Amino acid sequence: MNAHSPLSAPPLVDPFGRTIAYVRVSVTDRCDYRCVYCMSEDMNFLPKRDVLSLEELDRLCAAFIGLGARKIRVTGGEPLVRRNVMSLFQGLKRHLASGVLDEVTLTTNGSQLARFASELAECGVRRINVSLDTLDPSKFRAVTRWGDFGVVMKGIDAAAAAGLKVKINTVALKGFNDSEARGLIDWAHGRGFDITFIEVMPLGAMERDRADQFLPLTELKRDLESRLTLAPSAYATGGPARYYDVKETGGRLGFITPLTHNFCESCNRVRVTCTGTLYMCLGQEDAADLREPLRRSESDEPLIAAIRAAIARKPKGHDFVIARAAAPAVQRHMSATGG
Ligand code: SAM
Ligand code: SF4
């Protein structure tokens, strides 16, 4: 048996005893939107030669799966704007079929879902996250800089019709959607979707001052609890959200709080950018280049060695701080690291 076959390879365990079972793979840094908290209006995108080909992304995913990864999330930028991205999902299907992989999921802005939802379902994708910060079409246009709310609604309809389980991700933005939180919850739960609020993170240089956008979820939760009954839920997806059952709607509500609550103890995931840079922690700069070992050899051995060496230095956690006029904790944009 090959020393690196999935059956014989020891799993990826970091220095703190956490088994790495979840890989988020960004397939592009490009996007058809420019959400104000994520990108600046005039982004410079990467030259094509720097971005891993779909075949290289497939090899990379296979290497992680061989090392014990059970879940892959495809993200970006906007993953569905990558040309021919469906071939990656078609390829990942073989790992689902053989049982070595539990799940392939997707995070999307929903703009291309009407076109791809049924094909995603055919490829074995069962759950997707759709980012949506408002139900007001003109506010939607403002926060995405030019997105069309109606197109996203059609995309979400197509996903639901294809049998995909939809979770809504909403970035909580002070003075923008705090007053809409209840409406978003009612809408999502009315359609049978979970909804998760995310604290805005200090990633990437941005025109606007982060402290002006930051809405602590402790504050949002307190406000919601004055009107709704939230019971802590045992539900967990392997992601960082903490869930509550909402008695009034019968739906599930999650909070992702990198700033007000540190969830690093249970971190089982790593991120790979579309250039093959492996980030062991979203909030730290330390990274490993996987593109060079991928391109250097047809054998996966250098790649596997690079992955193992990187996991051996996965940090204990991150330390985001939002202080007025503070420099961003990490200079890269979320769209580069993959959300
Ligand atoms: N384009 C896809 C989308 O919007 O779902 C996938 C990539 S996007 C970078 C992934 C997630 O990151 C989205 O839910 C987005 O709202 C979130 N995000 C982007 N910038 C963020 C920031 N600075 N703080 C918190 N969440 C952010
Ligand atoms: Fe694009 Fe997603 Fe970033 Fe918005 S959050 S600009 S949709 S990558």
- The reply to whether 11 falls in a domain is no
- The reply to whether 47 falls in a domain is yes
CA of 77 to the centre of ligand 2 (A): 6
- Identity of residue 188: A
User: Is-contact 111 146, C-beta < 8 A?
Assistant: no
Give the structural domain span for 155. 22-337
Residue 322 confidence (pLDDT): 46
- The reply to whether 259 falls in a domain is yes
Total domain count, the chain = 1
pLDDT tier for residue 325 given thresholds of 50, 70 and 90 = very low
pLDDT tier for residue 176 given thresholds of 50, 70 and 90 = very high
Q: Region 73-96: what's the mean pLDDT?
A: 98
- The reply to whether 7 falls in a domain is no
Cβ of residue 133 lying under 6 Å from some atom of ligand 1: no
Rounded Cα distance, 309 and 42, in Å: 36
Cβ of residue 77 lying under 6 Å from some atom of ligand 2: yes
Residue 52 has pLDDT above 70, yes or no: yes
**Residue to mutate (ligand 1; options 108, 167, 198, 269; most atoms within 8 A of CB):** 198
- The reply to whether 99 falls in a domain is yes
**Average confidence score pLDDT of the chain:** 89
- The reply to whether 30 falls in a domain is yes
Instruction: Express each pLDDT in 8-37 by its tens digit.
Output: 567 899 988 999 999 999 999 999 999 999
Q: Which one is predicted more confidently, 83 or 5?
A: 83
Q: What is the number of the ligand 1 atom nearest to the C-alpha of 38? A: 20
CA of 161 to the centre of ligand 1 (A): 24
pLDDT tier for residue 116 given thresholds of 50, 70 and 90 = very high
- CATH number for the domain including 109? 3.20.20.70
Residue 305 confidence (pLDDT): 97
Q: Region 102-107: what's the mean pLDDT?
A: 98
Residue 205 has pLDDT above 60, yes or no: no
Using a cut of 0.85, tell me whether the model's pTM lies above it: yes
- The reply to whether 137 falls in a domain is yes
- Percent of the chain residues past pLDDT 90, beyond the cut: 73
pLDDT tier for residue 323 given thresholds of 50, 70 and 90 = very low
- The reply to whether 219 falls in a domain is yes
Instruction: Express each pLDDT in 223-274 by its tens digit.
Output: 999 999 999 998 877 667 889 999 999 999 999 876 555 567 778 889 999 9
Cβ of residue 39 lying under 6 Å from some atom of ligand 2: yes
Cβ of residue 107 lying under 6 Å from some atom of ligand 1: yes
Cβ of residue 171 lying under 6 Å from some atom of ligand 1: yes
pLDDT tier for residue 326 given thresholds of 50, 70 and 90 = very low
Burial classification of residue 293, based on how many CB atoms lie within 10 Å of its CB (0-12 exposed, 13-18 middle, 19 or more buried): buried
Cβ of residue 259 lying under 6 Å from some atom of ligand 1: no
Q: What is the number of the ligand 2 atom nearest to the C-alpha of 109? A: 7
Residue 316 confidence (pLDDT): 80
CA of 108 to the centre of ligand 1 (A): 9
Residue 111 confidence (pLDDT): 98
Cβ of residue 335 lying under 6 Å from some atom of ligand 2: yes
Q: Phi and psi of 271, rounded to 5°? A: -125, 140
Cβ of residue 267 lying under 6 Å from some atom of ligand 1: no
CA of 224 to the centre of ligand 1 (A): 23
